[in-house]
Amino acid sequence: MTEHRRWYDKDPVLKEALELLRLQPDETKAQAADYILNLQEQVAAEVIEHLYETISKYQGKGNRWYDNDPVMMKAIEMLRLAPPKMQRIAALKLLLALEQKSSEHLDNLK
């Protein structure tokens, strides 16, 4: 049985989407973060509260690739706290957009 180091390693689609996102230029990351943050409307208030606690705890202090960018950190934490079905849908859309390397496609995700 394989142990997963990161929360997103459990889902191969989500893992691939975040790995691909990590390698993108800052402009593409910003557009992807905006898309992910739109998930906020679909996540319960208690999840949002937990999100802000996590951000204040790790922002600028963590070792993860997104810890030094407050917007990206918020976006990734939002994705982490989203229900698995929503994570997968977001990951599939991100993969499609990132593989096409089309910021226009990211704009269409909103």
Instruction: Identify whether 1 is part of a domain.
Output: no
Give, for 55, the enclosing helix (H) or strand (E): helix 45-58
Question: What is the tens place of the pLDDT at every residue in 54-72?
Answer: 777 877 777 888 888 888 8
**Could you list the residue range(s) of the whole structural domain that residue 37 is in?**
7-108
pTM, 2 dp: 0.57
Question: What is the tens place of the pLDDT at every residue in 28-54?
Answer: 999 999 888 877 766 666 677 777 787
CA-closest candidate to residue 10, choices 93, 96, 67, 84: 84
Overall domain count for the chain: 1
What pLDDT score was predicted for residue 29?
92
Instruction: Identify whether 46 is part of a domain.
Output: yes
